[in-house]
Amino acid sequence: MTTTGTVRYWAAAKSAAGTAEEPYAAATLAEALDAARAAHAANPEFARVLLRCSFLVDGDPVGTRDHAAVPLAQGGTVEVLPPFAGG
């Protein structure tokens, strides 16, 4: 079942996306990230940044879980967190 929510970008991900946040319509984290890559296909740096990011889904770390196995909730939030120093 497709749900809708918000993807929030931080630091280098925000810069590469050109926005702090955007909506998603997806059932899983993998689907949401695929849609984001497609939406930002004109900027290849966006896809490169995503490769280095960690993700929180509704505040919970995704860690090494398969993104296709991480469901998204209606009205949920995906945080896209690039590595950064001092954090």
Judge contact between 35 and 46, C-beta under 8 A.
no
φ, ψ for residue 4 (rounded to 5)? -120, 150
CATH architecture of the domain 11-81 equals Roll (3.10)
> Residue 85's pLDDT is what?
55
**Which of 56, 61, 62 shows the shortest CA–CA distance to 79?**
56
For residue range 29-87, list pLDDT tens digits in order: 999 999 999 999 999 999 999 999 999 999 999 999 999 999 999 999 999 999 875 55
The domain ranges of the chain are 11-81
Average pLDDT over residues 3-9: 98
